[in-house]
Structure 1
Amino acid sequence: MNKKTLVLGASLKPDRYSNLAIKKLVANHHEVVAFGIKSGVVAGTNIDTQLKPYKNINTVTLYLNPERQVEYYDYILSLKPERVIFNPGTENPEFYKILKTNNIYFEVACTLVLLSTNQY
């Protein structure tokens, strides 16, 4: 099943996990949109440098440390995703509470592992 995913904290650097996640999501036939500091293209996916009001986002997968996430709380909530994935290094109990209050499911997991084990 195609789960439209926003990769938040996308990087053009091939050794970054966000970059690998974009490639693996695309390879698994998920629609991907991405936001990062530098614009470019990874696996046919444009990395936007301005926040857009994406529609029908199933999953937001985070590649931003907790301090950097704060400025995106309202934006993520506005997208009304079905879930938010906190990849290793992005764990954020403050944001967990906010998501829970807004009835948005979250999980502390690795997008790459979820995809590799067919649990995405």
Structure 2
Amino acid sequence: MKTTLILGATPNPSRYAYLAAERLASRGHEIVPVGVKHGRVQGREILHGKPDVPEIDTVTLYVGPQHQPEYYDWLLRVAPRRIIFNPGTENPELGRLARENGIEVVHGCTLVMLAGGSY
């Protein structure tokens, strides 16, 4: 399976980013958790800042639009095939930048996409 970067990863099991990591991993997806929280999710250390990452197919966002600008350049360098804007993370500016760089923009919920088989 292709690799998904979870931006806004957290070790808190009550958060949607945690649930997404859990469900992605349970379905065989490789995950790369990146966030500001310290800890582990699905056995993987949460990376901080703008780390070097392997080839990424999908970025799923769990970071609000007010905190996204610091990641713009890094996300464009990571060059995923698509970025999923989960509810509450919608950002027209990042969406435009992504499309201009050939990255598919999806407005949806990773958890719903996984449950419905459209991930």
CA contact (8 A) 2:58 2:84 kept: yes
C-alpha separation in 2, matches of 1:115 and 1:44: 20
Using structure 2 for the length normalisation, give the TM-score: 0.96
Residue 92 of structure 2 is matched in structure 1 by 93
State the identity as a percent.
Answer: 45
Residue 14 of structure 1 is matched in structure 2 by 13
C-alpha separation in 2, matches of 1:83 and 1:58: 7
| Runs of 4+ displaced beyond 2 Å | none
CA contact (8 A) 2:4 2:60 kept: yes
C-alpha separation in 1, matches of 2:45 and 2:117: 25
Segments of 5+ residues of structure 2 without an aligned counterpart are none
Using structure 1 for the length normalisation, give the TM-score: 0.95
Which amino acid in 2 is paired with 1:105? E
* Alignment RMSD: 0.9
C-alpha separation in 1, matches of 2:44 and 2:117: 22
**1:50–1:70 Cα change, 3 Å:** closer
The alignment of Structure 1 onto Structure 2 pairs a total of residues equal to 119
C-alpha separation in 1, matches of 2:35 and 2:69: 15
Counterparts in 2 of 1:1-120, with a 5 A limit?
A: 2-120=1-119
